[in-house]
């Protein structure tokens, strides 16, 4: 469990948290979601939360290049689904490079495979041969109500979807993205990884006029999962718990080396949990721009001052996560993993 206590707002924010605008799933009315991810240790744990929570209904899962190359992230996705017993979910592989830039991957965090630290089962899932964008478009058309997109990696697939299928914007209720940073980045001083890898895609998505929640490092770096969680998982005696405990142990190496933290930031699972757990995140309504220049590539420039936004002709149309209830998140994550036998 994290020693960092939830910080409800950055010190520079002069007003209370804003109300959430993202939809919230309930047991009585599960929220239909499509997950786009680049597994990745935190992506795998986010999938565990998504399939464990009865408040969420996963329509499909797609892969994008990010934490590792596309063949690796797609295989990691399908292996994680096999571990979770999600054998019938529809899956597809998407973009293998960012829109206009070379791919940047993160073996220094996730290992060469993108999911080092444990041996996962053979891949599964119902493969959609036409690819990720076509699968997302198909699922949106089939849905009886607008769907929430949950991108947990670079936004390449989502940007291509919006470019190629503008007629489907009305079928997207919300985009809940794990990415961005107000303060310190984790690739550069300015940029969070997902935004840095494909800032051009992020700029397209933020300009699309679709409601967005940006679950950024300013929240996820306050939700650390460590030794106490691994002990609970080790004690469970189930294969999923053992594998996730081993994945957490490997993931912790980076956080110890980089930050000297005793635990790991499971970023992507925070974004998924936000759609099932009320009051998990503290949010501010803000306008967000994505920097495309080289010096601050991928910086998510966040402005929450109403008077200044009015002068610029901008509206605070993004919910930006600036704090998290770390203890609640830790329980949500471990309980989700323990639900798989």
Q: CA 338 to CA 341: how far, in whole Å?
A: 7
Distance set, CA 33 to CA 110, 145, 305 (Å): 25, 11, 31
Q: Which two tokens stand for residue 166?
A: 């503008």
Number of domains observed in the structure of the chain: 1
Contact, 333 vs 273, CB < 8 A? yes
Q: Is residue 22 situated within a structural domain? A: no
128, 221, 255, 267: which one is catalytic? 267
Q: Does residue 19 sit within a domain?
A: no
Q: Give domain status of residue 235, yes or no.
A: yes
Query: H helices of the chain, where?
Result: 41-52, 70-84, 107-110, 132-142, 156-164, 193-197, 199-206, 217-220, 227-236, 239-259, 267-274, 306-312, 326-338
165 is catalytic: no
For residue 7, tell me if it sits in a domain.
Answer: no
* Residue 6 falls inside a structural domain: no
**Distance between CA atoms of 335 and 54, rounded to whole angstroms?**
13
Burial of 15 (0-12, 13-18, 19+ CB in 10 A): exposed
Count CB atoms within 10 A of the CB of residue 19: 8
Burial group, residue 301, by CB count within 10 angstroms (0-12, 13-18, 19+): middle
Q: What is the pLDDT, as a whole number, of residue 4?
A: 39
Please give the residue range of the domain that contains residue 239.
31-338
CA distance 22 to 329: 18
* pLDDT score, position 206: 98
Q: Residue 60: enclosing H or E segment and its boundaries? A: strand 56-63
Residues 6+ positions from 10 with CB-CB distance below 8 Å:
182, 183, 218, 322
21 within domain boundaries: no
Look at residue 23 and tell me if it is in a domain.
no
Q: Which residue in this structure is represented by tokens 């929240």?
A: 219
Looking at the domain assignment, is residue 247 inside a domain? yes
The domain that contains 123 carries what CATH number?
3.90.245.10
User: What is residue 3's predicted lDDT score, i.e. its pLDDT?
Assistant: 40
- Rounded average pLDDT per 10-residue block, the chain, 341 residues: 41 71 98 98 98 98 98 98 98 98 97 98 97 98 98 99 98 98 94 98 98 97 95 96 98 96 96 97 96 97 90 94 95 98 95
Whole-angstrom Cα distance, residue 81 to residue 85?
A: 6
């Amino acid at each position: 469990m994290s020693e960092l206590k939830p910080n409800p707002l950055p010190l520079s924010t002069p007003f209370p948290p804003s109300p959430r605008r993202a939809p919230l799933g309930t047991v009585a009315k599960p929220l239909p979601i499509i997950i786009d991810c680049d597994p990745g240790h935190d992506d795998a744990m986010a999938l565990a939360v998504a399939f464990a929570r009865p408040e969420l209904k996963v329509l499909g899962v797609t892969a994008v290049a990010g934490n590792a190359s596309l063949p690796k992230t797609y295989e990691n996705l399908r292996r994680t689904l096999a571990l979770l017993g999600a054998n019938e979910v529809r899956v597809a592989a998407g973009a293998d490079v960012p829109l206009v830039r070379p791919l940047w991957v993160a073996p220094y965090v996730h290992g060469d495979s993108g999911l080092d630290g444990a041996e996962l089962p053979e891949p599964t899932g119902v493969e959609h041969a036409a690819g990720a964008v076509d699968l997302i478009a198909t699922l949106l058309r089939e849905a009886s109500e607008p769907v929430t997109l949950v991108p947990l990696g670079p936004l390449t697939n989502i940007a291509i979807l919006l470019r190629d299928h503008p007629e489907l914007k009305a079928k997207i209720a919300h985009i809940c993205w794990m990415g961005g940073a107000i303060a310190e980045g984790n690739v550069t001083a300015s940029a969070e990884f997902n935004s840095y890898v494909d800032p051009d895609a992020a700029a397209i998505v933020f300009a699309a006029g679709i409601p967005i929640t940006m679950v950024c490092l300013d929240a996820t770096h306050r939700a650390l999962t460590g030794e106490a969680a691994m002990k609970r998982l080790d004690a469970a005696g189930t294969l999923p718990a053992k594998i996730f405990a081993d994945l957490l142990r490997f993931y912790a190496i980076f956080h110890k080396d980089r930050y000297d933290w005793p635990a790991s930031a499971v970023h992507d699972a925070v974004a998924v949990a936000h759609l099932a757990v009320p009051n998990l995140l503290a949010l501010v309504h803000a306008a967000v721009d994505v920097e495309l220049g080289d010096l601050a590539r991928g910086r998510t420039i966040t402005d929450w001052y109403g008077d200044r936004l009015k002068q610029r002709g901008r509206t605070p149309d993004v919910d930006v996560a600036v704090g998290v209830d770390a203890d609640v998140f830790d329980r949500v994550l471990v309980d989700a993993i323990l639900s798989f036998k």
